[in-house]
Amino acid sequence: MIYRVLDQSGIELSKRDTPYTVLELMALGAMPDGAKYVSEEPSGADHTIKIRRNGVWHDWEPPLGEAQQAAYDSAMRGESVLITGPGGCGKSEVVRRIVRDLRYDRGRSVAVTGSTGVAAVNLGGTTIHSFLGTGVSNTRKEALKNMKADAMARASERIMGTDTVVIDEISMLHGDYMDMASWWMNLACGNGPEGEPFAGKQLIMVGDFLQLPPVIMPGDAIVNKYTFDAESWKALDPRYHSLLKNFRQVDDAAFRRHLLRVRKGWAPEDTLDYFNTRLNATLSGVGEPTQLFPTNKEADRVNDDKLSRLRTPEVYLPAMYAGHPKWQEALKRNLPCDDPLELKLGAEVMCTFNNMEAGYVNGTRGIVKEFCRDGVLVETRDGGTVKVVKNKWEMRNAQDTVLASVCQYPLRLAWAMTIHKSQGSTLDEMVFDPQRVFERAQAYVALSRVRSIAGLRLLSPLRAEHVRASSKVVEWYRSQRDRMAALEDAARAAAGDPDGASRG
């Protein structure tokens, strides 16, 4: 076995046939920028070492893409930002690094929140409603009406002790909620109702307005539908970062091009023809492909039926919880896997968490082959076998204190799933019936889950009426791109490069 020490750019610093100690690596100057062992065995085993950053050891990481790095740098400068882009563009990865480095490199108190419980659990935080302490209130009037006796005192302590607030799936919050949140945060910090937007806190907002629309209940009298309509948003003026590099459909340029059209609600004839070549197409993968449905009821019916047909004993795998009962219940409602997990040998399953060391990622599909004491053996669609081990999900506050945790195997039955639950997953093969969609963007979300057009089977033709997007959101994105281009041109001119825009 040969061990090579590489710097972060991949340049070889040293090699020999015995492993290096951390002290030896440091002596080679491989820290703090990063290094890793690479085994040259035929197995291709890759041994990652730790990188020292401000006294803390982290796994070596590949560099961010250009747009990701720009968003990261902006956040690290303390700017409020919006990080947006289509599915598979790397939003989650850059946010993970921002949160970690703001906390451990900059010493900032970061509250990680989501507009929904699922978004919050995926990031290891709480909902924005829980963080603020306003419950489900949409307006100032509702917030005051729903406020419990000690809610403001507890909210004040929590909000005043926070430097940065991360909000994932920001597009699901409407503008009236954002204005209420800004007003509430100012009250909590003793600034009065007309203080700085969001009490002067840094906001890191993440989401795609062309995928998930605001949640507005029947009867809600909402004035500002979209987050960017809010007066507080306009006053905050977050830095706009659009991540357009696609990491999911990286090897299929035609597929990427037609998906971007569908995302914007544009369905010219050649795009419809392109997707409809997959009508009742034959898929070549091992096992059954995942079928996506708009509702839980449809997906559950298929999974229950398929599981019942297997003539093998059912294995019952409950999750294990710890922490405050209130937060335990929040975790249980929003787990990205089943609890209890009911499986059989031969069941089609999908992994719902990235574990690169064990060889699986969110979206890895396979068949249950064996139950072990410390894991579930799954035969993947490429013929390999992975051991899926328990994962721990946590809910943390802004001080990074664990409120509750749960341990469970990151698996769910995968004969079928909802379009909504498929978000964040990458599938090799997928079956979808376009005529069943009933909301804007559902067709785009479903189609964009699969790696390439070869992995798609349509059960009915894709038609123009299935491809819908808000014209207001499309126009808003266009205006943001134009605005950022103008700012970049102005910056180039100020730097003495007046022709930079034409070259870029």
Residue 49 has pLDDT above 60, yes or no: no
**Residue 492 neighbours by CB under 8 Å, 6+ apart:** 498, 500, 501
Task: Give the phi and the psi of residue 228 in degrees, each rounded to 5.
Answer: -75, -5
DSSP string, 98-122: HHHHHHHTS---EEEEESSHHHHHH
pLDDT at 38: 41
pLDDT band, residue 461 (cuts 50/70/90): very high
pLDDT at 342: 95
The answer to whether 189 and 156 have CB atoms below 8 angstroms apart is: yes
User: How far is the C-alpha of 457 from the C-alpha of 32, rounded, in Å?
Assistant: 47
Say if residue 389 is exposed, middle or buried (CB neighbours under 10 Å; 0-12, 13-18, 19+). middle
pLDDT at 35: 41
The answer to whether 444 and 437 have CB atoms below 8 angstroms apart is: no
- Is 222 strand, coil or helix? coil
Quick one: which H or E segment has residue 194?
none
> Could you state, in order of their start, the residue ranges of all structural domains in the chain?
3-59, 66-242, 479-503
Task: Give the phi and the psi of residue 164 in degrees, each rounded to 5.
Answer: -135, 135
Residue 71 has pLDDT above 60, yes or no: yes
Cα 124 from chain centroid (whole Å): 11
pLDDT at 491: 73
How many angstroms separate the Cα of 13 from the Cα of each of 40, 58, 108, 437, 475? 16, 20, 35, 54, 50
pLDDT band, residue 11 (cuts 50/70/90): low
Residue 155 has pLDDT above 90, yes or no: no
pLDDT digits (tens, 9 = 90+) for 72-114: 999 999 999 999 998 888 898 899 999 989 998 889 999 999 9
pLDDT at 315: 95
Residue 314 has pLDDT above 90, yes or no: yes
Tokens of 314: 């059912």
The answer to whether 80 and 239 have CB atoms below 8 angstroms apart is: yes
pTM value? 0.81
Spell out a b/e string for 166-180, using b for 16 or more CB atoms within 10 Å of the CB, else e: bbbbbbbbbbbbbbb
Residue 361 has pLDDT above 90, yes or no: no
Residue whose token pair is 């900059």: 106
Mean pLDDT (whole number) for 433-452: 91
pLDDT band, residue 47 (cuts 50/70/90): very low
Say if residue 322 is exposed, middle or buried (CB neighbours under 10 Å; 0-12, 13-18, 19+). middle
Question: What is the percent of the chain with per-residue pLDDT over 90, rounded to a whole number?
Answer: 51
Class of domain 66-242 as given by CATH: alpha beta
The answer to whether 195 and 236 have CB atoms below 8 angstroms apart is: no
Residue whose token pair is 């990865």: 93
pLDDT band, residue 120 (cuts 50/70/90): confident
User: How far is the C-alpha of 234 from the C-alpha of 228, rounded, in Å?
Assistant: 7
Residue 41 has pLDDT above 50, yes or no: no
pLDDT digits (tens, 9 = 90+) for 24-35: 666 665 543 444
What is the DSSP secondary structure assignment for residue 360, as one 8-state letter? Answer: B
Residue whose token pair is 């090579």: 4
User: How far is the C-alpha of 401 from the C-alpha of 162, rounded, in Å?
Assistant: 13
The answer to whether 449 and 249 have CB atoms below 8 angstroms apart is: no
pLDDT digits (tens, 9 = 90+) for 295-307: 999 999 999 999 9
User: How far is the C-alpha of 52 from the C-alpha of 63, rounded, in Å?
Assistant: 16
Mean pLDDT (whole number) for 434-450: 90
CB atoms within 10 A of CB 459: 13
Task: Give the phi and the psi of residue 158 in degrees, each rounded to 5.
Answer: -70, -45
The answer to whether 244 and 90 have CB atoms below 8 angstroms apart is: no
Mean pLDDT (whole number) for 411-423: 91
User: How far is the C-alpha of 463 from the C-alpha of 267, rounded, in Å?
Assistant: 8
What is the DSSP secondary structure assignment for residue 227, as one 8-state letter? Answer: G
**Residue 322 neighbours by CB under 8 Å, 6+ apart:** 328, 404, 405, 406
The answer to whether 117 and 130 have CB atoms below 8 angstroms apart is: no
Closest CA to 395 of 162, 120, 97, 134: 120
Question: What is the percent of the chain with per-residue pLDDT over 70, rounded to a whole number?
Answer: 86
Counted residue by residue, the chain has a size of 504
